[in-house]
Amino acid sequence: MGVSQFINDSRRILRLATKPSRKELWMSTKVSLLAMVLVGMLSFVVQVIMTTVTGNWFGS
């Protein structure tokens, strides 16, 4: 893939790209926040389980 091919592909992508609507942007924000909350909750649960399990082994 040469430089000219890359430039042509980049131009084509930029012509097809559009600014997201407010509705699309809000939906992306909600999905991202939901994913962050779910991952945070999962890591908290794993941390509590591991603290409980290893706390009993080492007598803390």
Q: Please write the tens of the pLDDT for every residue from 18-49.
A: 889 999 999 999 999 999 999 999 999 999 99
- Please determine, for residue 2, whether its predicted confidence score (pLDDT) is greater than 90: no
> Does 8 reside within a domain?
no
- Please determine, for residue 60, whether its predicted confidence score (pLDDT) is greater than 60: no
Q: How many residues does the chain have?
A: 60
Q: Give me the pLDDT at residue 44, please.
A: 96
Q: Which two tokens stand for residue 7?
A: 């430039």
> Does 9 reside within a domain?
no
> Does 13 reside within a domain?
no
> Does 14 reside within a domain?
no
Using pLDDT thresholds of 50, 70 and 90, give the confidence band for residue 59.
low
Q: Give me the pLDDT at residue 21, please.
A: 94
Name residues whose C-beta falls within 8 Å of residue 28's C-beta, 6 or more positions apart in sequence.
20
> Does 15 reside within a domain?
no
How many structural domains is the chain composed of?
A: 1
Domain span holding position 58: 20-60
> Does 43 reside within a domain?
yes
Longest dimension (CA), the chain: 66
